[in-house]
């Protein structure tokens, strides 16, 4: 079990090349992972068409730094991602442009992927899913370099290296996963299955934690300077280190809990093998968690059927802020259970159909979908603090 995470402090994106080279050197250097002639796929986090200044996507300076490092070895490089929304060449172009990936590859040998083919992959060892559709560039690679962004997440509490692999599932198939796995723990278990499946092709994860996102991430939160770049061959270990920095416990992040239970990572943050700078000097005690975040372990132990009812009552839900809504209909198009309809040019949520996946909040271009806590939720949180 590899629990090594390399960590380097970084004050700004102007220092991205130094930081990327440094974390790679701490793990043995880029030549340890890449050989001349290899086909390397770099997979950034491009959740939706967002400017780099919004801290919702991998910063182009990190992508360019990784490209430069791989180029030195003489490998071929493809930048590939399946963002939220349709998986077609036109949409990919708009996301690559909006996230400034086009300028990141300019002047390099790397190319942006527009091949939208995918294949169903059988994964018999999967705990939650046994068959997963995965985009072809990922399957054809000799090495995948994943570039996650350090952020909170309305549904999963935290999104990082493991969650970044959700972008290897093509377009609307992601919505199907949300619909099939509407329970948070089951969804996170699927993410662990997915990472293990994709990891048959070696995955090196390099995290953009220079400026992350707190609050109602992964797209509607607020920028937060963290000042770190990290890397690991074990995405679970990398996520554990990131969670330590933003003051999450293992029990608060279901992908981590699942990984620990499966023996894929050490069972304590103190057992991580951190090389490089001191992680304890980076811990942020007041990092803001999403409004939907609620530590269910604080509830009294209840029978499973009753506990589900209590959780349903306490759960946060998406709510439209119509003063900010432009009526584009993106929330309706991306909603997995089709719980949103447009009425007089504005979206209306059917609460009985809503599975609280927060895809609408994640993909709204104007941050017009807010996270609403019920009265019971707010009272319970108040008394349990």
Range(s) of the domain holding residue 337: 296-384
Is 268 domain-assigned? yes
Q: Are residues 96 and 33 in the same domain?
A: yes
In a domain, 374, yes or no: yes
Give the Å distances, CA to CA, from 119 to 40, 134, 170, 202: 19, 6, 10, 18
Residue 195 maps to which CATH number?
A: 3.40.50.11440
Q: What is the mean pLDDT of each run of 10 residues along the chain (385 residues)?
A: 96 98 98 97 96 97 98 98 94 97 98 97 96 97 98 94 97 87 91 96 97 95 98 98 98 96 98 98 96 52 54 74 94 92 94 86 90 59 46
Domain boundary (282, 316, 346) is at: 282
Q: Are residues 267 and 331 in the same domain?
A: no
pLDDT for the residue 180: 87
Output the pLDDT for position 50. Answer: 96
With respect to residue 301, please indicate whether it lies within any of the assigned structural domains: yes
For 280, the token pair is 């304890």
CA distance 196 to 108: 31
Last residue of a domain, one of 282, 305, 327: 282
- 171 and 302 inside one domain: no
Q: From 230, 255, 282, give the residue that closes a domain.
A: 282
114 and 241 assigned to the same domain: yes
- The answer to whether 103 touches 60, Cβ cutoff 8 Å, is yes
User: Is 289 inside any structural domain?
Assistant: no
| Same domain, yes or no: 202 and 317 | no
For residue 291, being part of any structural domain is answered with no
Q: What is the pLDDT of residue 297?
A: 41
Closest by Cα among 362, 354, 326 to 342? 326
The answer on 380 and 267 residing in a single domain is no
Co-location of 274 and 337 in the same domain: no
Q: State whether residue 334 is helix, strand or coil.
A: helix
210, part of any domain: yes
Is 8 within a domain? yes
Phi/psi of residue 23, nearest 5 degrees: -70, -35
* The pairing of beta strand 203-214 with beta strand 149-153: parallel
Summarised one tens digit per residue, pLDDT across range 347-357 is: 999 988 988 88
pLDDT in the model for residue 80: 98
Number of domains in the chain: 2
With CA atoms as reference, report the closest residue to 2 among 266, 189, 259: 266
Same domain, 336 and 208: no
In a domain, 357, yes or no: yes
Q: Do residues 57 and 143 share a domain?
A: yes
First to last CA, the chain: 36
Please indicate, yes or no, whether residues 340 and 264 belong to a single structural domain of this protein.
no
pLDDT computed for residue 298 by the predictor? 43
Residue 366 belongs to domain with CATH number: 3.30.70.20
- CB-based burial, 216-242: b 16+ in 10 Å, e otherwise: bbbbbbeebebbbbbbbbbbbbbbbbb
Do 269 and 304 lie in a common domain?
no
> Based on the domain organization, do 271 and 317 belong to the same domain?
no
């Amino acid at each position: 079990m590899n629990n090594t995470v390399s960590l380097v402090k970084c004050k700004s994106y102007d220092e991205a090349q130094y930081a990327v080279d440094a974390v790679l050197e701490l793990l043995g250097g880029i030549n340890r992972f890449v050989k001349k002639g290899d086909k390397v796929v770099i997979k950034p986090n491009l959740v939706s068409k967002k400017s780099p200044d919004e801290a919702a996507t991998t910063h182009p300076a990190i992508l360019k730094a990784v490209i430069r490092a791989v180029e030195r070895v003489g490998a071929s490089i493809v930048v590939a991602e399946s963002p939220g929304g349709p998986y077609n060449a036109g949409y990919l172009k708009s996301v690559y442009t909006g996230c400034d990936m086009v300028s990141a590859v300019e002047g390099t040998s790397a190319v942006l992927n527009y091949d939208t083919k995918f294949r169903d992959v059988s994964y018999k060892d999967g705990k939650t899913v046994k068959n997963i559709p995965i985009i072809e560039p990922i399957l054809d690679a000799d090495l995948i370099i994943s570039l996650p962004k350090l952020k909170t997440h309305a549904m999963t509490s935290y999104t990082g290296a493991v969650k970044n692999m959700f972008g290897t599932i093509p377009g609307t198939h992601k919505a199907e996963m949300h619909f099939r796995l509407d329970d948070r723990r089951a969804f996170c278990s699927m993410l662990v299955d997915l990472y293990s499946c994709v990891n048959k092709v070696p995955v090196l994860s390099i995290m953009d934690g220079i400026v992350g996102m707190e609050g109602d991430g992964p797209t509607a939160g607020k920028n937060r300077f963290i000042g770190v770049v990290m890397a690991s061959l074990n995405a679970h270990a990398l996520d554990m280190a990131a969670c330590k920095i933003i003051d999450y416990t293992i029990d608060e992040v279901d992908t981590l809990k699942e990984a620990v239970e499966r023996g894929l990572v050490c069972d304590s943050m103190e057992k991580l093998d951190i090389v490089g700078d001191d992680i304890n000097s980076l811990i942020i005690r007041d990092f803001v968690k999403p409004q939907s975040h609620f530590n269910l372990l604080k509830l009294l132990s209840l029978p499973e059927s009753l506990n589900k009812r209590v959780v349903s009552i306490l759960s946060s839900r998406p709510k439209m802020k119509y003063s900010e809504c432009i009526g584009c209909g993106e929330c309706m198009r991306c909603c997995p259970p089709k719980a949103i309809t447009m009425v007089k040019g504005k979206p209306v949520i059917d609460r009985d159909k809503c599975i609280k996946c927060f895809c609408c909040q994640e993909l709204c271009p104007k941050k017009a979908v807010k996270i609403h806590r019920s009265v019971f939720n707010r009272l319970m949180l108040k008394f349990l603090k």
